[in-house]
Amino acid sequence: MMKKRSLLFALTVFCVLSAVTGCGYHIAGKGGRMPGEIREVAIPVFVNMTNKPDIESIISSAFAKEFVTTVDVRDAAGPELRGAILSYGLSPVSYTKNDVVQEYRLSVTLSLSLVEKGGGKVLWEDRNVRDYEDFIVSTTDVTATEEAEIAAFRKLSKDVARLVKERMLENF
């Protein structure tokens, strides 16, 4: 019992000291500021140049949710983050012993540019943003596989939005 109290006391002291002194690290891009005094960014729905329907709203929403932690995201704000989904592809990653696909890789390529409203001056651009996410296939349930694909795309969208924002904040 005494050992438990000592451990609890030590843990409490550690937590208090950590809170008072800070931890000395931060997550890149979180709470940062956009260069050039940019306080607002418009993020219209990305252009979908693929044959996969309805993916543009998912990825546009992920970017809006990510950027709102740093700037105001509004429809008629200052610069505009324009995006186009150039490709959306599935490729097998692994197979069962019977040569049935058991895992797919979802790959997406985007073209992104941060453009001043009105003048059209490009402030930041990357025309070849690529990312991928793997997901498991259900060999018995097509609906489960479709849901896994959508979940993988949502995760990919969130991850690529975070990475793009961090790159913009660090290398603007």
DSSP H stretches of helix in the chain: 2-21, 56-67, 142-171
> Phi and psi dihedrals of 49, rounded to 5?
-100, 15
Pairing of strands 47-48, 40-41: unpaired
Provide CB contacts within 8 A for 47, sequence distance 6+.
56, 83, 84, 85
Residue-wise pLDDT for 2-29, tens only, equals: 444 444 443 343 333 333 333 332 334 3
Using one digit for the tens of pLDDT, what is the confidence trace for 59-104?
999 999 999 888 877 766 578 999 999 999 999 999 999 999 999 9
User: How much is the average pLDDT of 36-63?
Assistant: 92
All structural domains of the chain, each given as residue ranges with its CATH number in brackets, are: 2-171 (3.30.160.150)
Q: Which two three-digit tokens encode residue 46?
A: 């990305």
Q: What is the pLDDT of residues 98-156, one digit of tens each?
A: 999 999 999 999 999 999 887 788 989 999 999 999 999 998 999 999 999 999 999 99
